[in-house]
Amino acid sequence: MTWFSQRFPTWLICLPHEKRPIFLDGELLKSQFDFVRVKVTLIMALCIALPFCCYESELKIPMRISVSRRAIFATSILMAGVSIFAPAANAAETPASEWVNTTAIVDQANAQLAQFGVSVDRGVAENFDQQVNSQIDAALAPYGDEVATSGGQVVEQTLQLVEQEAQKALPNYQVRTDIQSQIMGATPGEVLHRVPGSWFDAPAVPEESKIVEEQGKSLYGPGTPIYLNGNSMCTLAVTGTDADGRKIGITAGHCGKSGDAVRSADSYWVGDSGTVVYNAPNSDYSVIEFGSNAELSNSYNGITANAVGGGVANGQEVCKNGVATGYTCGLVWTADQRMTMSQVCAGRGDSGAPLIAGGRVVGLVSGGVIPDYNLACTTPLQGPFFMPTLSVNMDSIITDLDSQNLPGRGFQPTAG
């Protein structure tokens, strides 16, 4: 097995693990904020005593979501071994100059990592705090009291998927115009939120989906948002047919279990149009069989899958399109035959999203490398500062499907 497979076997993604430290050497190059350049020996030290962070979104529960400006940078500079944490929602309001305080986190990390003879430069954290806080102050300054007075607002969201008439609004489909949403989403005007905890302007329902919905069907393609069993929201990686002519879709395995009903989040009121028929026991993917009220496409909402499979190289740019954070790109850190680790922005709801390179779907998003959603990508303001994303390679999925006489064997992607 390769170095990467030994430390990130597929079954480790979402299950409890044996405690074991993992190290990876690397360097954070100049960030898009253009103010920090860091080189450290340690990128990450993962104690695999907890599950890895999986990016499905559980939606069938009441949730309180703080929209306080204090949560701007609940992120992590994993590539530099420096973590950034926002204060808790019930913490006292902090001065703008202390919105980001990585120095204390670095001190904690150094204490824990001393046994390994590794330390993170404290001066780097101090410099980063100063620069990032200045960036946030500058971004919010034009809005003055308008931001401050709404900073502690808490929005109550009851996210139960209740059957309604077809003309009613889609569940979890909120268009926001408040200043905070515009700033946090780096989007002027209307900002669409579809997954709790994500500030990104989410992908809207595409016209092609609306046209098919008028015919009483749901359209599925790469990047379609889906509900599984009514309470889990994920993203579809790819569609196609298998050797027996079944209409097939592939998404992340942890999103649901065999027998779960599947429906499109973009044409929710069409109803269930698929079922999870296989959940891989040794990899994080599942197979969906679609019914007669589903249409398949190789193109969806601006994303086209010209082919499926193929490898990626270290340093290569890959992209993904998910319901939570939309279309984002990043560089590959390392990859082997089974998995890829990249600095692609992803968050809750993006599980199963297609990982794309050169028009090919080369993998699907599985989750983050650390079991803490606070380190995920939640706002464009983070830039590249979030934990790396793990994805399952499509070549390994296709090989696994072809090795057994189950739905999905002989998978061929939907043609254009």
**pLDDT score recorded for residue 55:** 62
**Residues 80-92, mean pLDDT to the nearest whole number:** 29
**pLDDT score recorded for residue 369:** 87
**pLDDT score recorded for residue 149:** 45
pLDDT score of 152 more than 70: no
The percent helix, strand, coil of the chain (3-state, each to 5) is: 25, 25, 50
Cα-atom radius of gyration of the chain, to the nearest Å?
21
pLDDT digits (tens, 9 = 90+) for 156-190: 333 344 334 445 789 999 999 999 999 999 999 99
Tokens of 365: 């998003």
pLDDT digits (tens, 9 = 90+) for 187-203: 999 999 999 999 999 99
- For the chain, the structural domain boundaries read 17-50+68-152, 158-416
Number of H helices, E strands in the chain: 7, 29
Is 64 in contact with 156 (CB distance < 8 Å)? yes
**Residues 347-360, mean pLDDT to the nearest whole number:** 96
CATH assignment of 158-416, among 2.120.10.10, 3.90.1640.30, 2.40.10.120, 2.40.50.140: 2.40.10.120
At residue 137, φ and ψ (nearest 5 deg) are: -55, -45
Q: Is 112 helix (H, G, I), strand (E, B) or coil?
A: helix
Higher model confidence: residue 62 or residue 332?
332
Is 221 in contact with 303 (CB distance < 8 Å)? yes
Is 119 in contact with 125 (CB distance < 8 Å)? no
CA–CA distance, 294 with 320 (Å, rounded to integer):
23
- Lowest mean pLDDT of 7-16, 125-134, 279-288, name the range: 7-16
Residue 11 is inside which H or E element, if any?
Answer: none
Is 132 in contact with 125 (CB distance < 8 Å)? no
Cα within 13 Å of Cα(275), Cβ side: 7
CA–CA distance, 51 with 370 (Å, rounded to integer):
8
- Identify which of 54-68, 136-150, 173-187 has the greatest average pLDDT: 173-187
Nearest to 295 by CA among 223, 219, 236, 241: 219
- Lowest mean pLDDT of 138-147, 150-159, 193-202, 330-339, name the range: 150-159
**pLDDT score recorded for residue 416:** 77
Q: DSSP letter at 223?
A: T
**Residues 378-392, mean pLDDT to the nearest whole number:** 92
Higher model confidence: residue 388 or residue 82?
388
